[in-house]
Chains A and B, each alone.
Chain A
């Protein structure tokens, strides 16, 4: 069952058509998202137009958190199933996760200046996001510093350890006094954000998710080619 899924993933990642479709969808969603977030969505009654930064900051933070959680989940799979495909998938998701984390930190800092009057504060959520960024760096660095099998084990340990930080990021606004407001978009209970703001937020999230899938497929393709090139030497 697992091998079948990996085989399908291989074919999908190697297909140029898949990448073209995902890229086209990304462009469509990004165009709609930018149009909605910069032109159609209303300004906030307190933050005025500065609120528009939310449409890049929040999706970037969501995606970077989601990707790291997925990497940690796959890393656990590496130890349980001893399947190399988990390693390649986890490794291929890391670059886009890191970039989204960087976007969340920088756009958050840009948003902080007009709303809080400062570029940086050691607020629990900002600090825990910075810790996540460091875990991403450690994860990627471990692939560069160690050889294949050792790198897979060490990077997996980094991801699993770093996952402890994920609930801290999520609940930091509830546990400690924070400059951040509690979440407005909820899965289990009623969302408190107006639809005029929720629409661009969801469109941008979809665009960002598609971009991360596109980068993942390209990176996965690179890893497969590397393995296949090595395989040619062994013939």
Chain B
């Protein structure tokens, strides 16, 4: 176990390179996911506050249908 950590004296370099990579992955994923949730909420709020005629018109669009259904699924 200690051998794995020390890696013949190169442990600090190897582990820091891998840690930097994984931290960047995690950070990027969190940032993008937060943006996605925020934009989803914005869309949902606007969509649910549309007048009945406009709501029907907007619901005809396929992408809107998918977005509404996926948001509903996320609530569950």
Contacts and interface: CB of A to CB of B under 8 A. Distances in A.
Interface residues of A, number: 44
A52 B12 CA distance: 12
Contacts of A226: 39
Interface of B: 4, 7-11, 13-14, 16-18, 20-21, 24-25, 28-29, 32-33, 35-36, 39-40, 42-43, 46-47, 50, 54, 57-58, 61, 63-64, 66-67, 70, 73-74
Interface string A24-59: 000000000010001100010000111011001100
A50 B43 contact: no
Given A14-B63, A110-B16, A113-B13, A48 B8 contact: yes
A150 interface: no
Contacts, number: 111
Contact of A49 (B11, B32, B42, B54): B11
Interface stretch (A123-131, A172-180, A216-224): A216-224
A16 interface: yes
Closest 3 CB pairs of A and B: A49-B7, A107-B17, A50-B10
B16 A228 contact: no
Given A110-B20, A221-B36, A96 B28 contact: yes
